[in-house]
Amino acid sequence: MDDPAAALKREAGEQAALLVENGMVVGLGTGSTAAFVIAALGRRIQEGLKFTAIATSEHSAAQASKLGITLTDFGHHDGIDLTIDGADEIERKSLNLIKGLGGALLREKIVAAASRRLVIIADERKLVRHLGEHTAVPVEVTPFAWEATAHRLGRLGARVSPRHDRDDSLFVTDGGNLILDCNFGVIEDPATLERRIGEIVGVIESGLFIGRAALVLVAGADGVARFEPA
């Protein structure tokens, strides 16, 4: 039997999957929550829904392909109608996000930026008053001189830890880069921090997603709540 959190995420994922319509190009997120969406979309494919998808990770692409979802790429489509993804923290008032604990933040942000609509699904534990309350900001960096990049991130006030794989080697993203998990504590001005991180040479992208979510579906004990930007 599922644990309560998994059941909540599945419920939110299934509701989000109902937003996909025939003929859409759909962005598929990465992580445990996004996996529920992909599974629900696989069932809708069997019921006759027709759409194509761009996945944000090799893992999500493999799951989608196995379920019969047709995959495409940006060589064939310059935009995405709808992307459905999870998040690691959601600022309740602004709907700003921290993403990237699943290791796919660069591809996730590329897909989000190309999307007409970004829908985020999560369980209620991910809602916070301010970003950074519980989660470090993942920052994807070039492998070359990553130590110097980490030092510069530290100057912004972060406690920086290189992410490791299960065998204790440095975690490598699908794009061949590294991730530095940067704990800034409570973030009072996420937009400024996103800009300052991006100005550091060696940084490819950060897991701060500012002003990108069009809809957030949050599953809790009383059902799925909808949040939209004010």
Please give the pLDDT value at position 121: 95
For the chain, give the percent of residues with pLDDT over 90. Answer: 89
Residues 149 and 40 in one domain: no
Q: Is 171 within the bounds of a domain?
A: yes
Tokens of 7: 């059941």
CA distance 73 to 14: 24
pLDDT exceeds cutoff 70 at 2: no
Residues 104 and 215 in one domain: yes
pTM for the structure as a whole: 0.93
3-state secondary structure of 192: helix
Please give the pLDDT value at position 1: 45
Residues 90 and 201 in one domain: no
pLDDT digits (tens, 9 = 90+) for 35-69: 999 999 999 999 999 999 999 999 999 999 999 99
pLDDT digits (tens, 9 = 90+) for 179-188: 999 999 999 9
Residues 71 and 55 in one domain: yes
Which phi and psi angles does 190 have, rounded to 5°? -60, -35
Q: Is 227 within the bounds of a domain?
A: no
How are beta strands 89-91 and 127-128 bridged, if at all?
Answer: parallel
CATH number at residue 79: 3.40.50.1360
Active site includes 108? yes
- The amino acid at residue 133 is E
Residues 42 and 125 in one domain: yes
CA distance 214 to 91: 13
Residues 37 and 109 in one domain: yes
Mean pLDDT of the chain: 95
pLDDT digits (tens, 9 = 90+) for 87-118: 999 999 999 999 999 999 999 999 999 999 99
- Element of type H or E holding 111: helix 105-113
pLDDT digits (tens, 9 = 90+) for 123-159: 899 999 999 999 999 999 999 999 999 999 999 999 9
For residues 224 and 217, the answer to whether their CB atoms sit within 8 Å is yes
User: Averaged over 206-212, what is the pLDDT?
Assistant: 98
In the set 11, 14, 108, 140, the catalytic residue is: 108
How many domains does one find in the chain?
2
